[in-house]
Amino acid sequence: MNTKKPAAPKSALAGTDTLDRGNTNTKLDSLEKFRSDATEQALRTNQGVKVADNQNTLKAGARGPSLLEDFIMREKITHFDHERIPERIVHARGTGAHGYFQAYETHSVLTKAGFLQDPHQKTPVFVRFSTVQGPRGSGDTVRDVRGFAVKFFTDEGNFDLVGNNMPVFFIQDAIKFPDFVHAVKPEPHNEIPTGGSAHDTFWDFVSLVPESAHMVMWTMSDRAIPKSLRTMQGFGVHTFRMINAEGKARFVKFHWRPAAGTCSLVWDEAQKLAGKDTDFHRRDLWESIETGDYPEWELGVQVIEEENEHAFDFDLLDPTKIIPEEVVPITPLGKMVLNRNPDNFFAETEQVAFCPGHIVPGIDFSNDPLLQGRLFSYTDTQISRLGGPNFHEIPINRPVSPFHNGQRDAQHRTTIDKGRASYEPNSIDSGWPKETPPAAQDGGFETYPERIDAAKIRQRSESFSDHFSQARLFFHSMSKHEQEHIIAAYSFELGKVEREFIRVRQVNEILANIDLELAKRVAQNLGLPVPMAGTVEVRKTSLDHSPALSQANLLSGDIKTRKVAILAANGVDGAAIDALKKALMAEGAHTKLLGPTSAPVTTADGKALPVDASMEGLPSVAFDAVFVPGGAASIKALSADGVALHYLLEAYKHLKAIALHGEAKQLLDVLKLEVDAGLIVGTDTKLFKAFFAAIGQHRVWEREPKAKAVPA
């Protein structure tokens, strides 16, 4: 008997194994010839052409516009745009709302754009907020960039301001966009992780691409875990132009400032919310609009005269750079109010199509190489995702101004065009539709006549070469607690990276060039050798600190729309509840009464109070603050209720304001907690003033070192 073990099958790539398909033996090399290993292979196009430069789009000069003839960039972006159907490739998880924009005054000196001329005119808008990395079913509170896209339905056509809640981006040239997204998306072999960047491919990419350092710093900050969509800033990211009726052009950067202030979750809270309420952000936006707490933002621009284009120690065309507000202040233009929820999520929020190339007279582009690629990419994406070139006829995308041209037919055409001529010029239909000369009243769009005299070249301008100065500026501008959060975020994310050489490279070649103390702290947390110096000489810049970058300086100054949980059991002091509700209502804040169960609770004087939910049904992470009214029987019951005690400990751990009224002071001993600026006790309504002040500070940051030791 032959006892020799059979030889192990050869690799499928070797093409020698066979598979039994009924009576057919088919060689694996024919069945699996699509398998490809790029090891030791040259980078080529899909047509087999070797690529000499995969870092830069073909441009007219190093700082000039991108050229349509760049077949390498177009092939790469086109393939990328069509990778997912019908879900968006990026920004798949989103929510939206209707509203209006209203200018504060006439801005004719700055631009001829009609929607910025009449302070009495309300321009309809639709806004979509989104996360970047995860699919439609991912969580709202993951660490990620948030999309902030606004469609203005102006009388001159649609204007789409397609930005993010961060003012910079990971890359400088659009040709690298597919690479970045492929790196940050779930890893291709196992589709993990969903909705997060804490994995090898993302950190491998950004550690090899130093231009990403500034944006990565933003995403490791609290900006990447916003408290709500209502408390996010928004940015156009790129440098645009505004042009007035006289033809005078200026560079501008777009900014959205929330009226509710800018603030974030803490990391433990964000993680718990991802499990307890996946829809936390979209629910908050929906409920705010339904209750009449309409979210509001101020639109402003930083204005740079053309003659000052090169007056900075960075390049205006570099999308990885900001213009600090201390250098160029923001000029307010008007306000945006969101006051109506969609009637149908799919028909509106899912089918809305934003394209940076949708502009109106008075607004134009710059030669930012990332923007130049987006002008091609977004339209191409919408054609794929929405089934053809007629996506502008879907109601949510349809302009309020009429549109007439010779573009007919194609998939999903709904307009029934009259007339026999679908070309221009024509004499059959009396020449209609006709061009509108730019100089005419309400003239047609005219591209700004920028002079270009340069060689066609694939090259990055030397003015784009400083990758660390603004990342350093951002880190140094943070408050102490914000810096600690950044250190913790880098440590957490890199701790999820399997390959140590990637962690070492990120610490030594990126973080050490931003701030040596930051690099040392992260290295220690990861158990890596501590770097002694950076690898790049520190550039001297005109600004080393920008207070406008710290969220600690961006609070609203009030407690409007804040949510306070009231914990109660039978025997509660009903008068204290009534007084708090009245006082909070006067401040524009909201309360929810929570009991041990969903059953009503009875006050000390025998009155039945309906509760809004149980403490388990609405956890502390859903609120900004917690109030515990007195009542001996109620406090006795809560002191023995593990859910109630956990509720308070969790709120304490997340640095929220907590007020203990009357007998509730006894809970300090039960919980072994000490009074601080946000843990307040009292016996009368004077308690409210200190409590509201603590809520207005968003978090009790001085508590954070102690709170880390509290189990919750």
> In whole angstroms, what is the distance from residue 391 CA to residue 413 CA?
9
198 close to 256: Cβ distance less than 8 angstroms: no
- Amino acid of residue 189: H
Q: Which residues, listed in sequence order, are joined to residue 518 by a DSSP beta bridge?
A: none
Kindly report the three-state secondary structure assignment for every residue of 80-109. HHCCCCCCCCCCCCEEEEEEEEEECCCCCC
Residue 378, marked binder: yes
Q: Which of 620, 687, 693 is nearest to 653 (CA)?
A: 620
Cis previous bond, 529, omega within 30: no
Strands of the sheet with 679-682, listed across from one edge: 613-614, 590-595, 563-567, 625-628, 657-661, 679-682
Tokens of residue 25, six digits: 């033996």
Burial of 208 (0-12, 13-18, 19+ CB in 10 A): middle
Q: Which of 376, 330, 382 is nearest to 354 (CA)?
A: 382
CA distances from 701 to 141, 272, 652 (A): 21, 20, 11
- Amino acid of residue 217: M
Residue 143, marked binder: no
Map residue 425 onto helix, strand or coil.
coil
> In whole angstroms, what is the distance from residue 285 CA to residue 304 CA?
34
> In whole angstroms, what is the distance from residue 334 CA to residue 106 CA?
10
> In whole angstroms, what is the distance from residue 331 CA to residue 314 CA?
21
Residue 223, marked binder: no
The residue whose two tokens read 């949708």 is 358
Helices (H) and strands (E) in the chain, counts: 19, 22
Tokens of residue 279, six digits: 């829809």
Cis previous bond, 531, omega within 30: no
Q: Which residues are catalytic?
A: 91, 164
CA distances from 380 to 375, 376, 415, 471 (A): 9, 7, 21, 33
Measured in degrees and rounded to the nearest 5, phi and psi for residue 254 equal -90, 140
> In whole angstroms, what is the distance from residue 644 CA to residue 596 CA?
8
Residue 177, marked binder: yes
Residue 136, marked binder: no
> In whole angstroms, what is the distance from residue 185 CA to residue 581 CA?
45
Per-residue DSSP letter, 273 = H
Map residue 540 onto helix, strand or coil.
coil
Residues in the chain: 712
> In whole angstroms, what is the distance from residue 137 CA to residue 102 CA?
34
Measured in degrees and rounded to the nearest 5, phi and psi for residue 553 equal -100, 10
Other beta carbons less than 10 A from residue 268's beta carbon: 15
Residue 345, marked binder: no
Q: CA 156, 160, 161, 165 torsion: positive or negative?
A: positive
Q: Which residues, listed in sequence order, are joined to residue 331 by a DSSP beta bridge?
A: 301
Could you list the residues known to form a binding site for heme, using ranges: 88, 128, 177, 374, 378, 385
Q: Residue ranges for the binding site? A: 88, 128, 177, 374, 378, 385
